[in-house]
Amino acid sequence: MSAERQINPWIIAVSVMFATFMEVLDTTVVNVSLPHIAGNLSATIDEATWVLTSYLVANAIILPMTGWLASTFGRKRLMMAAVVGFTTSSFLCGLAPNLASLIVFRIIQGATGGVMQPLSQAVLLEAFPPKDRGKAMGFWGLGIVVAPILGPVLGGWLTDAYSWRWVFYINIPVGIASLVMTQLYIFDPPYLRGSAGKSIDYWGIGMLAVGIGALQYVLDKGQQDDWFASNLILALAVVSAVCVGALIIHELTTEEPIVDLRVFKVRSYAIGVFLMTIVGFVMYGSMVLLPIMLQTLLGYPPLQAGIALAPRGIGSFFMMPLTGMMVGRFDARKLLIVGLFVGGGTMLWLSQMSLSAGYWDFFWPQVIQGAGISLLFVPLTTIAMDAIPREKMGYATSLFSLMRNIGGSIGIAVTGTLLARHTQATSVLYSANVTGLDPTSQSMFYQLRSAFMAQGADITVATSRAYAALHGMVMRQASIVSFVGLFQLLGVVFLVVVPLVFLMKRPRASSGPGAAAAH
């Protein structure tokens, strides 16, 4: 025990950051490489998306089990096994000769990676005293927030400069460093050391795997398969609802649950989990909207679109450590409210964009939004985890991470669906006004036809091209209206949940008079 007490908690923070950053980066780094993977492995883009789906499904299934796995096998042993599994499967992904083997290795990668986030968060929260937890979460949050934004940029660069296989090989040196530091600096707390040999909740594991796995598939593939018009999506949605409902009842009545739902009895934690789900919803939903908008409407190539998203990471990178320090000095609830207003305000700012928007029009709202996300993530984690007993910390952090990821999946699914449906409806509405009876439409048509004829096209070809160009203009206008409408929706979502913060208790980490009395 003396060796453990002498270890600087910041060394422990660096140790777990390696694993966390590597795992979170892999949720987005592959996205821009999909066309190259499909072409190289003789698969369609649709088939190649299973490289993403398989990882997310495996990740979602294992996340809520992490607390139980840690209490059964020990945190250190589980973390080292996860790092070895993740690094080895990354190497095998890079060597994959065909799509089927790549998907199998991605499943292993998702399953082993799923335990890293909640484990590293639990280790950090225990390594630091309550008054310094804000600083620890600020440091850890850098990996959680910056990695998904850095992923597309790094993935695009590696794919263009080398090969898509290097998207996976890049994990190997990071994994080795993580393994060495975990071995040297991370130890199990006393209450975990004697907890092996417990009975295994097989029913819980089964219902969890089927219920969460089916839910993740529905969210990931729903829009692509037209939601409940697909019999498979409908069947999996029913299976997910039944299994998750049965799981909740089972876990609340069994003595040694695979997922300890009793942590939701802590009011601040329960509200915090809901708010973190909303943060995932808005953050991941907007992260999908922006690159699509930049590439389809403004003509950005994939790598440039990835770079255009980097300002959010810049804002978070500089603000995270400052937020960590402020959490120890001010009421974390006030910082959280500021973060929600900044996040909502910048979404409304982005909703003012037009087809003439330039790079700097996206740069500033994203920088400020990155700072706002820091003011959300760090205080929210600190408040939610403050009243959780140490022996329940693993269960609490695993559910916290799961709901952020599910919130992100719901955000991606909802924004993708609303974008497609709203664009279609708006284009029909606009097209109804673009007729030969409308003077503006008629004038634009004649100008376009004359321009094409001036380029050498005969009147028949020029007429056809003018109609196509008019249709393209209508679609672009319909698309930009849909994009800005969705940014407005995401901004409003952040603002309407502000009152919930007042129901949370002030954490012990907040200094000043009344901090203790609040408990």
- Using CB atoms within 10 A of its CB, is residue 376 exposed (0-12), middle (13-18) or buried (19+)? buried
Q: Is the CB of residue 152 less than 8 Å from the CB of residue 291?
A: yes
**CA dihedral (187, 109, 404, 303) positive or negative:** positive
Indicate left, alpha or beta for 197 from its phi (over 0: left) and psi (-120 to 50: alpha).
left
Report d(CA 293, CA 156) in Å as an integer.
17
Task: Give the pLDDT of residue 303.
Answer: 67
pLDDT band at residue 518 under the 50/70/90 scheme: very low
| Model confidence at 275: pLDDT above 90 | yes
Question: According to the model, what pLDDT value does residue 370 have?
Answer: 86
Q: What is the DSSP string of 175-195?
A: HHHHHHHHHHH----HHHHT-
Dump pLDDT digits (tens) for 459-497. Answer: 777 777 777 776 777 777 788 888 888 999 999 999 999
Percent over 90 (pLDDT), the chain: 9
- Model confidence pLDDT, tens digit, residues 46-96: 677 777 778 877 887 888 888 778 877 777 888 889 999 999 998 998 888
Q: Report pLDDT digits (tens) over 334-355.
A: 889 999 999 999 999 988 887 7
Identify which of 161, 158, 81, 146 has the alpha carbon closest to the alpha carbon of residue 119. 81
As a whole number, the mean pLDDT across the chain is: 79
Which pLDDT belongs to residue 92? 92
More confident residue, 489 or 188: 489
CA 97 to chain centre: 29
For tokens 């690094």, name the residue.
87
Question: Helix, strand or coil for residue 457?
Answer: coil
Check: CB of residue 48 under 8 Å from CB of residue 34.
yes
**Does pLDDT of 437 surpass 70?**
no
Quick one: which of 374, 327, 319 has its CA closest to 128? 327
Share of the chain above pLDDT 70, in %: 89
How far is Cα 502 from Cα 138, in angstroms, rounded to an integer?
22
